[in-house]
Amino acid sequence: MRVLVLTGAGVSAESGIPTFRGKDGYWRNLDPAKLATPEAFARDPKLVWEWYRERRQRIRSARPNAAHAAIAKLAQHADEFLLVTQNVDDLHARSGLRADKMVQIHGDIFVTRCSRCDFGFTEGMEEQQEIPKCTRCAALMRPGVVWFGEQLPWKELQRVENYLDRGACDLVIVAGTTATFGYIVDWALRASPERFRGELIEVNPEETPLSEFATQRIHESAAVALPKIVDQVITS
Ligand code: OAD
């Protein structure tokens, strides 16, 4: 069985991490869609760092939920498996999913990297209070995530493309994402071409641009729906 899973913020919602476009997403009355931009960082790097540091702390104290656990279980049972997550948290990894089975296409919130050169490191538990400066070139350091309008990281993109090029999937699950980015819709459809008759399951309480293409629409939360789906797949 060849499987592709695509996840978004909704999968971490039940771990207490606010989604981007949900009502809890606002921070100090600011829209995350406006904070997660190169323009916001250029204008007020301190403010953007404060937001990311708060998110980091929240993620550190959060725990993976039943949706993360179900996806990790599915990975163990599939012959070929890839998770492509838009989430920058580490909850998929902490639920036991191996790094070679997962692509964080929007980066990793715990990485701090230079805004100019290629220097970067993974942050430990201690957050600095200052805006970090690169020890190599003295430019401002920034969170290692993809912001609106930025290109996707090349290596991660290649891993997704390679997986899709190797053939269609028997099962594609898209969970907890508004699928607003064209590439998410595109990858789901490429992995599940109509002529191949694979399953394309969408888990989301709301409709998305992908809904009309899904072979199954599950209007439940990810932590409720995914354990049931995975158990069904494994036993069938
Ligand atoms: P969004 O915040 O746009 O959407 C969250 C989705 O999860 C919505 O479709 C909700 O209906 C759904 N949802 C909420 N709670 C859920 C639950 N418990 N179970 C299942 N689904 C639930 O988040 P993303 O689609 O991940 O990118 O957003 C994609 C990207 O936009 C993010 O990675 C980020 C953001 O801006 C960048 O920063 C580049």
Task: Report the C-alpha gap between 60 and 50 in whole angstroms.
Answer: 15
Token pair for 166: 């190797």
Across residues 96-101, what is the average pLDDT? 98
Residue whose CA is at the smallest distance from ligand 1 atom 35: 20
Reported confidence tier of residue 26, pLDDT bands at 50, 70, 90: confident
Decide whether any atom of ligand 1 lies within 6 Å of the 92 Cβ: no
Among the atoms of ligand 1, which is closest to the Cα of residue 177? 25
Three-state SS letters, 110-165: EEEEECCCCCEEECCCCCCCCCCECCCCCCEEEEEECCCCCCCCHHHHHHHHHHHH
Q: What is the pLDDT of residues 109-125, one digit of tens each?
A: 999 999 999 999 998 87
Task: Report the C-alpha gap between 45 and 55 in whole angstroms.
Answer: 15
Across residues 21-26, what is the average pLDDT? 74
Verify whether residue 68 is a known catalytic residue. Answer: no
Residue of 68, 92, 106, 219 marked catalytic: 106
Task: Provide φ and ψ at 77, rounded to 5°.
Answer: -95, -20
pLDDT at 171 over 90: yes
Reported confidence tier of residue 34, pLDDT bands at 50, 70, 90: confident
pLDDT at 152 over 80: yes
Containing 202, the helix (H) or strand (E) segment is strand 199-203
Across residues 12-36, what is the average pLDDT? 84
Q: Is the pTM of this model over 0.85?
A: yes
Better-scored residue on pLDDT, 142 or 236: 142
Query: How many whole angstroms from 149 Cα to the centroid of ligand 1?
Result: 17
Task: Report the C-alpha gap between 18 and 13 in whole angstroms.
Answer: 6
Across residues 41-46, what is the average pLDDT? 96
Mutate to test the pocket of ligand 1, among 21, 68, 219 (most ligand atoms within 8 A of CB): 21
Across residues 32-47, what is the average pLDDT? 92
124 CB burial (10 A radius; 0-12, 13-18, 19+):
exposed
Query: How many whole angstroms from 31 Cα to the centroid of ligand 1?
Result: 14
Reported confidence tier of residue 20, pLDDT bands at 50, 70, 90: confident
Least confident range of 54-58, 100-104, 217-221: 54-58
The pLDDT of residue 24: 74
Decide whether any atom of ligand 1 lies within 6 Å of the 144 Cβ: no
The pLDDT of residue 236: 87
- 8 A C-beta contact, residue 174 and residue 207: no
Across residues 161-165, what is the average pLDDT? 98
Reported confidence tier of residue 197, pLDDT bands at 50, 70, 90: confident
Mutate to test the pocket of ligand 1, among 88, 145, 204 (most ligand atoms within 8 A of CB): 204
Task: Report the C-alpha gap between 172 and 82 in whole angstroms.
Answer: 10
Mutate to test the pocket of ligand 1, among 178, 185, 207 (most ligand atoms within 8 A of CB): 178
